[in-house]
A and B are shown apart, each in its own frame.
Chain A
Amino acid sequence: RKEVEQDPGPFNVPEGATVAFNCTYSNSASQSFFWYRQDCRKEPKLLMSVYSSGNEDGRFTAQLNRASQYISLLIRDSKLSDSATYLCVVTSLNYGGSQGNLIFGKGTKLSVKP
């Protein structure tokens, strides 16, 4: 089982739609969780951290279920500018011992259409 798994998509949605991305991770010792956004031919950028209690940032809501080792990202009222690839990221103890380097999922591509 891969460390971080995501549905690769693509998700094609109309403007204004609500879309949800899911991610599972295999290392129960992972401590920190993130969603990154990557635009075509650009570098990844941090979208938001994911906390156990769930957290919201405007139209974006992230949830973490440690028991199921599952992370989600919900985007409400999709905009054309939300079109990008969304990367699920968790810390891993495989590299760097207690340092916890970041392991990236392969990403889910979102395309928001007018």
Chain B
Amino acid sequence: NAGVTQTPKFQVLKTGQSMTLQCAQDMNHNSMYWYRQDPGMGLRLIYYSASEGTTDKGEVPNGYNVSRLNKREFSLRLESAAPSQTSVYFCASILRSGQNYEQYFGPGTRLTVT
């Protein structure tokens, strides 16, 4: 049981390049999330997918697209990377039981855009 996995762990891009961050979970969770974390800003929600086949914008969606490929996988794409997208990206999946939540995070992708 690997939990939430993310690839790659590190990436350096030049401005204008594109890339896809991959995320997978093996816990059969319905909901999956992409966050970015910047110094002094905390974790901010980019996009989420409440269930397979649905995706919605979070707090900071501009410059990103997502795909919920199946129940396990939720990818984040940067079509034309900008220096402002330098950040640590975390994928997460959530288990809900009534008002109880347990959110599992992947180890993160450290992205630098030059």
**A residues in contact (CB < 8 Å) with B:** 8, 31-32, 34, 42-46, 49, 87, 91, 94-96, 99, 101-107
Contacts and interface: CB of A to CB of B under 8 A. Distances in A.
Interface residues of B, number: 26
A104 B101 contact: no
Given A44-B105, A46-B103, A49-B100, A96 B42 contact: no
B49 to A, nearest CB: 10
A32 B99 contact: yes
B2 to A, nearest CB: 13
Main secondary structure of the interface of B (DSSP, over half): strand
Given A32-B101, A96-B48, A101-B33, A107 B56 contact: no
B53 interface: no
B79 to A, nearest CB: 22
Interface string B83-110: 0000000100010000111110111100
Contacts of B45: 95, 101-103
A19 to B, nearest CB: 20
Contact of A96 (B44, B50, B99, B103): B50
Nearest to A32: B99
A95 B101 contact: no
Given A8-B40, A87-B43, 18 more contacts: A34-B101, A43-B108, A44-B105, A45-B105, A46-B102, A87-B42, A91-B101, A95-B56, A96-B48, A99-B31, A99-B50, A101-B33, A101-B48, A102-B94, A102-B101, A104-B44, A105-B42, A107-B42
